[in-house]
Amino acid sequence: MGSIKKGKWVGAAVVLAAGILLPAFTTPPPPQPQRRDFNIIAHKYAYEPSVIHVNQGDEVHVRFSSKDVTHGFFLEGYDVDALSEAGKTGLLVRHPSETGNFTSAQEIVFKADKKGKFRYRCSMTCGYMHPFMMGVLIVEPNSLFGQAMGLMIGLLIAGFILVWPSGKSPVLVSEGVPA
């Protein structure tokens, strides 16, 4: 009986170790945060590109310009709002939470520290379709998340093995069933 229990513990330890180690070998290392540059062009009533992808932790630089009238670039979740006047290279940028005025800048810069989908939309009324002028920033999670999932699955399987009834019980049950 003691040896069965010991075997279970060893089994659980092996599964747990696999749960921790396998993801470390099979998933690529987390991407190093890097500088990402984007050129976003606004016109009635869209952004080009309308979807941008970065990895969590990246430093994002957006050069934003307008083709026709003055357009805005309000990025949800990142406290960024910018304005671009057609034909002008510079921008006006502000951080809405700081209630500050717009200051001129060459580009929008922020660190993509939150993962998820964040809409960017026009913050300057530019015509009848203005409310529909939007795009989306997708911040991919750091792959450490994959390793955390591997650890969790390993723990679950180890726990499952520990509480699983011993090998004898199915035999007892089948013996109890009348032939």
Using CB under 5 A, list all residues that contact Cu ion: 122, 126, 130, 133
CB of 81 to Cu ion, least distance (A): 12
Query: Minimum Å distance from CB 106 to Cu ion?
Result: 22
Residues in CB range of 18: below 8 A, 6 or more apart = 154
Report in angstroms how near the CB of residue 122 gets to Cu ion at its nearest.
3
Give 160's contacts (C-beta < 8 A, 6+ positions apart). Answer: none
Contact present, 96 and 119 (Cβ < 8 Å)? no
- Residue 139, token pair as written in the block: 């911040």
Nearer to Cu ion, 9 or 132 (CB): 132
Please say which residue, 45 or 145, places its beta carbon nearer to Cu ion: 45
When the beta carbons of 93 and 122 are compared against Cu ion, the nearer one is 122
- 62 and 41 Cβ atoms separated by less than 8 Å: no
Q: Which of 11, 2, 25 is nearest to 143 (CA)?
A: 25
What residues form DSSP beta bridges with 51?
136
As measured in angstroms, the least distance from the Cβ of 43 to Cu ion is 10
Alpha helix ranges (H) inside 27-143? none
Q: Which is nearer to Cu ion, 58 or 81 (CB)?
A: 81
- Kind of pairing between the strands at 134-140 and 51-55: parallel
Q: Which is nearer to Cu ion, 54 or 133 (CB)?
A: 133
Residue with tokens 């696999």: 18
**Least separation in angstroms between CB 126 and Cu ion:** 3
